[in-house]
């Protein structure tokens, strides 16, 4: 049954509902405000002040009556309170005045005390003990303090930094829910207003993790300093013995402590960064060097400078027919391009290859190889990343020299050159004139950009690989002349994603991933050629995986089996387009 109301009644109904909602909101705010112990203390202090003020007004009103009687006049009690408040508030209407000197002296006393109590103490007391706590309580109510009981499978993040910022972006991309724990109210509100899913709570309080349903979470990721990470891991273990905990370690000595505290995985990003940078070194030759493994599939890179491949197109090189290898794409000064038959190989091109171990060996046995360079690799920066890169190069049998400004960081005098890398003499002593590659590993992006430009000028043909602290400087480092750039943020976030039951993703380079997906329903029965994957998303199918078998370079005209998995390569943006186009619409 429909009931039609006239406009005046409808307006009245809306007004009533709005009033009820406002009262409900006000009551909830007052209850939240009163539950906070400091807020209750502040209210009590304000009430005490108001009680003192009320007592003073009452005393003044009584004295007013006696003085009026002294002057032969009679006024009501309401008039007494009226006169006291008008004088104390300095309004002074003047309709009631004393005629005697005693009465005028009393009026002066009331006026001066009113200035102090009503115009000075009352506003500041009200603001300090009620208004400011009230606003703080309102802000605290706006910042969530818990998650619903039915939330599960989410990732709990204990700090917002460069690594977790990139992690949140990847979690959003792969449709994982997350919650960001923040202990400071101002920071929680800032992140909440930016659109992040935030919960306010102390990291060392077990109740905080109960409120975010840690027992139902997929994992806890903590990326603060080693002491905070240890405290987080230990506190989480008080609540849940099963939730996986991933923690960052800045020094090797903290690894065992973090594991004892309850961490399942401890990531040393400095060590990981150094090894990853070292893997990018081509070794001064044109051999294909694996940079990652995806099951039976190897991803490798090879420079072509000085080989017979330079100047040819990929079709003319006939690499697939000669070795079985697949050229996924090429790097040209940090820019990745998908491989096409007409793609031309330049003198500075780096090929991105995919194939089995046998196919990699077959590629390396081709006759158009260049002579290897045995000159030391120059590593600029002797910190954790630089030392880890040196150790990784030594494991490959490659020589290196580390340029370090601080003598106290020198570990092996034969491998170190002490001095400022901005000075030509220091770089020459390290072997900049002959080196096949330069690793720039300092923790300051401005310094890395400066040194990249400098080394590119001194050694135009060298392979230059740089580290970036902030992702926004990656493009700048490429423009400065770096062939490859790796950032802490991407490496850390990719490592965490891999441990989040996503071993089906491999970061080939900054912004370039190999990833595995189950064949979407929209592609079942179609061929790779019919699917339009490359045209629609920019991703390239590298292999097909069915059971334990991996078919590298699959036939593009064979139908896709429903139980198979696609292994693709693409940039972050093309991967996002693929997931949106094929997976989320499935």
Secondary structure of 497-537 as H, E, C letters:
HHHCCCCCEEEEECCEEEEEEECCHHHCCCEHHHHCHHHHH
Contact predicate 185/202, CB 8 Å: no
Task: State the pLDDT confidence band at 5, using cuts at 50, 70 and 90.
Answer: very low
Domain spanning 377-489, CATH architecture:
3-Layer(aba) Sandwich (3.40)
CATH entry, 9-142, from 3.40.250.10, 1.10.287.70, 3.40.50.1470, 3.50.50.60: 1.10.287.70
Instruction: Give CA–CA dist 404/539, Å, rounded.
Output: 41
Domain spanning 511-583, CATH architecture:
2-Layer Sandwich (3.30)
- Per mean pLDDT, which range of 23-27, 48-52, 469-473 is the poorest? 23-27
Residue with tokens 């990732």: 155
Q: Is the pLDDT of residue 17 over 60?
A: no
Q: Is the pLDDT of residue 478 over 60?
A: yes
Same fold, 285-364 and 377-489: no
Q: Within 10 Å of residue 397's Cβ, how many Cβ atoms?
A: 8
H-only helix segments in 466-509: 474-480, 488-499
* Topology of the domain comprising 155-267: Rossmann fold (3.40.50)
- Kindly write down the DSSP assignment for every residue of 52-118, as one continuous string: HHHHHHHHHHHHHHHHHHHTT----HHHHHHHHHHHHTT----SS---SHHHHHHHHHHHHHHIIII
Provide, rounded to the nearest whole percent, the portion of the chain with pLDDT above 70: 87
pLDDT digits (tens, 9 = 90+) for 296-346: 778 888 877 667 787 888 888 888 888 888 888 887 766 777 777 888 888
C-alpha distances in Å from residue 95, one per residue of 82, 88, 91, 109, 467: 11, 15, 11, 18, 81
Task: State the pLDDT confidence band at 216, using cuts at 50, 70 and 90.
Answer: very high
Contact predicate 464/438, CB 8 Å: yes
Contact predicate 324/362, CB 8 Å: yes
| pTM of model > 0.75 | no
Which 3 state secondary structure label does DSSP give 209? Answer: helix
CATH entry, 285-364, from 3.40.50.300, 3.30.70.1450, 3.40.50.2020, 1.10.3720.10: 3.30.70.1450
* Tokens linked to 166: 């990139």
Q: What is the pLDDT of residue 512?
A: 74
The beta-strand segments (E) located in 339-482 are 350-355, 377-380, 400-404, 416-418, 437-440, 463-468
Contacts (Cβ under 8 Å, ≥6 apart) of 43: 34, 129, 130
Task: State the pLDDT confidence band at 213, using cuts at 50, 70 and 90.
Answer: very high
pLDDT digits (tens, 9 = 90+) for 356-413: 888 888 888 877 655 555 789 999 999 889 999 999 899 888 899 999 999 988 888 8
C-alpha distances in Å from residue 175, one per residue of 200, 501, 584: 23, 13, 9
Q: Domain boundaries in the chain?
A: 9-142, 155-267, 285-364, 377-489, 511-583
Contacts (Cβ under 8 Å, ≥6 apart) of 563: 519, 546, 547
Instruction: Give CA–CA dist 500/481, Å, rounded.
Output: 35
């Amino acid at each position: 049954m429909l009931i039609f109301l006239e406009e005046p009644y409808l307006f009245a109904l809306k007004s009533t509902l709005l009033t009820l909602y406002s009262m409900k909101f006000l009551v909830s705010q007052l209850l939240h405000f009163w539950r906070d112990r400091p807020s209750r203390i502040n209210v009590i202090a304000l009430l005490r002040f108001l009680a003192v003020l009320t007592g003073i007004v009452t005393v003044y009103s009584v004295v007013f009556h006696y003085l009026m009687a002294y002057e032969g006049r009679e006024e009501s009690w309401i008039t007494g309170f009226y006169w006291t408040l008008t004088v104390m508030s300095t309004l002074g209407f003047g309709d009631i005045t004393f005629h005697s000197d005693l009465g005028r002296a009393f009026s002066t006393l009331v006026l001066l005390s009113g200035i102090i109590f009503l115009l000075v103490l009352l506003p500041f007391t009200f603001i300090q003990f009620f208004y400011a706590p009230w606003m703080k309580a309102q802000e605290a109510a706006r910042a969530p303090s818990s998650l619903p009981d039915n939330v599960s499978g989410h990732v709990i993040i204990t700090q917002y930094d460069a690594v977790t910022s990139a992690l949140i972006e990847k979690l959003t991309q792969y449709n994982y829910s997350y919650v960001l724990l923040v202990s400071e109210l101002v920071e929680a509100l800032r992140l909440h207003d930016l659109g992040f899913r935030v919960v306010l709570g102390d990291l060392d309080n077990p109740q905080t993790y109960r409120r975010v349903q840690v027992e139902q979470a997929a994992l806890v990721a903590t990326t603060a300093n080693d002491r905070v990470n240890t405290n987080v891991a230990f506190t989480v273990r008080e609540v849940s013995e099963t939730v996986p905990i991933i923690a960052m370690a800045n020094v090797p000595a903290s690894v065992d402590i973090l594991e004892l505290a309850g961490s399942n995985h401890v990531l040393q990003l400095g060590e990981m960064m150094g090894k990853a940078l070292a893997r990018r070194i081509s070794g001064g030759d044109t051999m294909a060097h694996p940079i990652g493994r995806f099951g039976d599939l190897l991803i490798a890179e090879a420079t072509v400078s000085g080989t017979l491949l330079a100047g040819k197109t990929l079709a003319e090189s006939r690499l697939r027919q000669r070795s079985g290898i697949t050229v996924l794409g090429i790097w040209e000064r940090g820019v990745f391009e998908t491989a096409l038959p007409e793609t031309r190989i330049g003198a500075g091109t780096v090929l991105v290859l995919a194939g089995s171990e046998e196919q990699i060996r077959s590629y390396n046995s081709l006759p158009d190889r260049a002579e290897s360079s045995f000159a030391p690799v120059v590593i600029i920066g002797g910190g954790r990343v630089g030392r880890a890169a040196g150790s990784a190069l030594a494991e490959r049998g490659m020589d290196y020299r580390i340029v370090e400004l601080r003598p106290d960081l020198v570990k092996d005098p034969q491998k170190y050159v002490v001095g400022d890398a901005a000075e030509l003499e220091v770089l020459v002593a390290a072997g900049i004139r002959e080196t096949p590659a330069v690793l720039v590993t300092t923790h300051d992006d401005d310094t890395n950009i400066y040194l990249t430009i400098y080394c590119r000028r001194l050694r135009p043909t060298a392979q230059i690989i740089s580290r970036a602290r902030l992702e926004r400087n990656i493009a700048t480092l490429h423009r400065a002349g770096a062939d490859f750039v790796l950032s802490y943020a991407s490496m850390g976030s990719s490592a965490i994603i891999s441990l989040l039951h996503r071993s089906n993703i491999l970061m080939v380079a900054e912004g370039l991933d190999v990833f595995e997906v189950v064949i979407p329903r929209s592609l079942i029965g179609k061929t790779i050629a019919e699917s339009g994957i490359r045209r629609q998303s920019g991703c390239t199918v590298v292999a097909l995986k069915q059971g334990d078998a991996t078919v590298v370079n699959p036939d593009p005209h064979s139908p896709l089996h429903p139980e198979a998995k696609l292994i693709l390569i693409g940039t972050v943006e093309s991967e996002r387009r693929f997931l949106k186009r094929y997976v989320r619409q499935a």
